[in-house]
Structure 1
Amino acid sequence: MTTAEPRPFPAGEPARLDPDPLFAELRANEPLARVQLPYGEPAWLATRYEDVKVVLGDNRFSRAAAIGRDEPRVRPHLPPPGSILSMDPPEHSRLRRLVMKAFTMRRIEEMRPGVQKIADELVDGMLAKGSPGELVVDFALPLPVTVICELLGVPFADRGDFRYWSDAFLSTTRFGLDEVADCAVKMREYMAGLIAQRRDKPEDDLLSALVSARDEDDRLSEDELLSLAQAILIAGHETTASQIPNFVYALLTHPDQLAKVRDDPELIPRAVEELMRFIQLGISGGIARYAVEDVELGGVTVRSGEPVLAAIGSANLDESVYSDPGTLDVLRQETSHVGFGHGPHHCLGAPLARMELQVALGTLLRRLPGMRLAEGEAGIDWKSGLSTRGPERMLLAWDA
């Protein structure tokens, strides 16, 4: 039975990385629930694994249909117009193909030694400063920022600016609407300047390749070029920068699982997949898809024109898919998850993120023996007012 009145969602600020207790109740009793997010129109919320995959992967649910609608969202601002996240195939496929070559498994593995070098240099810096060290500023943030800067062709020296702009884009309550709008303008002007530089002097980077696709092959409009470059820059570092301390926290607070990975580093790729499943990174149901026809889902009929949110964090804890899903188990047999999404909008950078997370965990465990929380929970400041979860500061200690 579905409630007639939409329930407020999310119910409140998340507690550390604990899963929202509402999800288990909804999966059991109301798998497709009516919800009201802080902004936008009411929506359906899909919480079961199979329903979430349908919403994310079935062409009866559209992102393009959201254009001009008051989308349900946790942020006061609407998604930027012209974003790849607001497109359906074939337009979405056309843009995606332009950057896919940079994220193939072969290309990512060729990058691994360079990423390992960056990680080792960052840990060298932490060791030089001595224990305890600050994980986020000294390691978790600069690692993916350096990688995406080199890949895209963005000056690393400007990281402070685009990190600030990224936080504004992801803001729920931390930034006001005027601040968000100002940051959006500044980031667009910044990317436009870089694009102009690449037109004058192309380099061996992804931004130059995108400029070439715009100017020589006419496969991109100017707005698409700007929006795509911004999306790659934000998405290329934000998720990984959040997940590195999330993964470390999860392992340090599950010492039995930490011991297994320490004893057998070959488990690290498997541990990354389990941690992606286990940790609910976003605080909402992501970006809404709109039904383009009536669809039977989760025991109810979603009418054409109604928005549906896919709760990835809930899907990854579905009891019908995973045994004891609330337990972190790096030896888990069920290795599939939707942590990187599903369907046309499946995370393009998933291979890069996986590799970076593997390198990050492996390097920290190898180079920081006895790694532990320096001051317990008191040494961690958790994000607030943003749509992603994780520590903004985490003090780590290790054995000399």
Structure 2
Amino acid sequence: MTTPVQFTQEFWNNPHPVYARLRQEAPVHPVMLPNGFEVWLVTRYADCKAALTDPRLSKRQGAGDNARQLRTSTSTPLTKHLLAYDPPDHTRLRRLVSKAFTARRIEELRPRVEELSAALIEALRGRDDAELVEDYAVHLPIQVICELLGVPIEDQADFRRWTSVLVSASAGGPGVPEAAAAFLEYLLGLIERKRAAPAGDLLSALIATRDEGDRLNEDELTSMAFLLLLAGHETTMNLISNGMHTLLTHPEAHRRLREDPSLVPAAVEEFLRLESPVETATTRTATEPVTYGGVTIPAGSMVAISLLAADRDPERFREPGEFVLDRGDNQHLAFGHGIHYCLGAPLARLEAQIAFTDLLAAFPGMRLAVAPQEVVWRTGILIHGPAALPVTL
């Protein structure tokens, strides 16, 4: 590569040609992010999968560009969560939290998720058009995670604003310290109220959780609530938006899915592979020199693992740039791999399957209201999804 990656709006709108070139010519390549952090970007599937489980890449020393910026700018405790630790601390924290995300517990949420989706669909009936991100995709997961954690739904506008700032920090956006401080103050107050008057929600349960005498300390509790709120709606919002954008630009797949809803689970996995809602995993730091694809990354370097690039690697997937509705062997990395595999993956899958089933049934004639190239995508190397998705219903 003779020119560095240019993080322009053109890149955010369609990063796939750049990632394809990187995979072919420079699969492990240093890039300077707009926020000033230099990272080594890993783009091939095999290298990414290996890096996700490499103990020489530490989360503690490089807990991600957003988290590192939060820590250095605000000294906030919002970074003391699962994604910022290695074993044994990570093992301890995951053990304390994972009980809330068992397959049985998630499946019990199905009737309520279906009820919330039906209400959002009903609000759209009779309209000629909609902006699908704001009118549906964000509200389903945000209502689910608010109810699960016991967060007042009327507070969603505030923490949506804060999380939007924080996840775009890698794009050099302003306001990160202020958003972090405001979010921290909000969570501290919420936890204090839950401790005084516990309810049957997850946050109350996390406050009371014990495991052989162990418990979450105050910073861990605050940080875990932050992570669950952020990841609990940002990723699924983009999964729904990305999936609908894909369907509306692939008419034959759209038709097949409308006619055979039993294909929805497979379609969700293909949406995850083709347009991962998480563009790169939160960064790690090399504790010693590490080599991938014949390139040695020096000790102390920050490493970014591109899930979006990995899942379009032609060495791993046939027709990697195509939406293949009945794709077999779809072992994508959209939820990560190894000990940091996404704890909320079963919930994201449940919400997405309900969302696509309901949207396709309610609005079989839905189409984009603008040309595909006119859709503007969000900035930042962490999250991948359209900023808005105008549709004709």
Q: Same fold by TM-score, threshold 0.5 exceeded?
A: yes
Determine whether 1:185 maps to 2:185: no
Letter in 1 for 2:34: P
| Counterpart-to-counterpart distance in 2, 1:209 and 1:74 | 25
Bigger shift: 303-312 or 145-154? 303-312
5+ residue gaps, structure 1, are none
Q: Give the alignment of 1:323-342 within 5 angstroms.
A: 323-342=318-337
| Structure 1 residues 137 and 386: CA distance shift in structure 2, 3 A | farther
Determine whether 1:61 maps to 2:57: yes
Match of 1:95 in 2: 93
| Structure 1 residues 127 and 379: CA distance shift in structure 2, 3 A | farther
| Structure 1 residues 339 and 17: CA distance shift in structure 2, 3 A | farther
| Alpha-carbon shift at residue 21 of structure 1 (Å) | 1.4
| Alpha-carbon shift at residue 239 of structure 1 (Å) | 1.1
| Counterpart-to-counterpart distance in 2, 1:41 and 1:133 | 38
| Counterpart-to-counterpart distance in 1, 2:197 and 2:160 | 26
Residues 316-351 of structure 1: CA deviation (Å, up to 9, x unaligned): 011111011011111112311001111222111111
Match of 1:86 in 2: 84
Letter in 2 for 1:202: P
Q: Give the alignment of 1:249-264 within 5 angstroms.
A: 249-264=245-260
| Counterpart-to-counterpart distance in 2, 1:354 and 1:229 | 21
Match of 1:211 in 2: 207
Letter in 2 for 1:220: L
Determine whether 1:165 maps to 2:131: no
| Counterpart-to-counterpart distance in 2, 1:274 and 1:360 | 15
Give 3-state SS (helix, strand or coil) of 1:138's partner: helix
Q: Give the alignment of 1:1-400 within 5 angstroms.
A: 8-14=4-10, 18-66=14-62, 80-128=78-126, 130-172=127-169, 175-176=173-174, 179-213=175-209, 217-282=213-278, 285-377=280-372, 380=375, 382-384=377-379, 387-398=382-393
| Structure 1 residues 347 and 248: CA distance shift in structure 2, 3 A | same
Letter in 2 for 1:154: V
| Alpha-carbon shift at residue 241 of structure 1 (Å) | 1.3
Give 3-state SS (helix, strand or coil) of 2:116's partner: helix
Residues 142-179 of structure 1: CA deviation (Å, up to 9, x unaligned): 10011000111100111111111111211345842xx3
| Counterpart-to-counterpart distance in 1, 2:137 and 2:147 | 16
| Counterpart-to-counterpart distance in 1, 2:142 and 2:177 | 23
Give 3-state SS (helix, strand or coil) of 1:238's partner: helix
| Counterpart-to-counterpart distance in 1, 2:289 and 2:96 | 33
| Counterpart-to-counterpart distance in 1, 2:167 and 2:392 | 30
| Alpha-carbon shift at residue 50 of structure 1 (Å) | 1.1
Residues 209-268 of structure 1: CA deviation (Å, up to 9, x unaligned): 111137994521111111111111111001111221221111010111111211211100
TM-score between both structures, scaled by the size of structure 2? 0.90
| Counterpart-to-counterpart distance in 2, 1:8 and 1:378 | 24
Give 3-state SS (helix, strand or coil) of 1:8's partner: coil
| Counterpart-to-counterpart distance in 1, 2:92 and 2:309 | 31
Bigger shift: 331-340 or 371-380? 371-380
| Counterpart-to-counterpart distance in 1, 2:6 and 2:332 | 22
| Counterpart-to-counterpart distance in 2, 1:10 and 1:75 | 22
| Counterpart-to-counterpart distance in 2, 1:51 and 1:386 | 19
| Structure 1 residues 333 and 81: CA distance shift in structure 2, 3 A | closer
| Alpha-carbon shift at residue 385 of structure 1 (Å) | 6.3
| Structure 1 residues 372 and 207: CA distance shift in structure 2, 3 A | same
Size of the alignment, in residue pairs?
387
Letter in 1 for 2:176: V
Give 3-state SS (helix, strand or coil) of 1:64's partner: coil
| Counterpart-to-counterpart distance in 2, 1:224 and 1:331 | 41
| Structure 1 residues 59 and 378: CA distance shift in structure 2, 3 A | closer
Identical residues among aligned pairs (%): 42
Contact kept in structure 1, 2:67 and 2:79, CA below 8 Å: no
Letter in 2 for 1:97: R
| Alpha-carbon shift at residue 293 of structure 1 (Å) | 3.0
RMSD over equivalenced CA pairs, Å: 2.7
| Alpha-carbon shift at residue 99 of structure 1 (Å) | 1.9
Letter in 2 for 1:199: R
| Alpha-carbon shift at residue 183 of structure 1 (Å) | 1.9
| Structure 1 residues 41 and 189: CA distance shift in structure 2, 3 A | closer
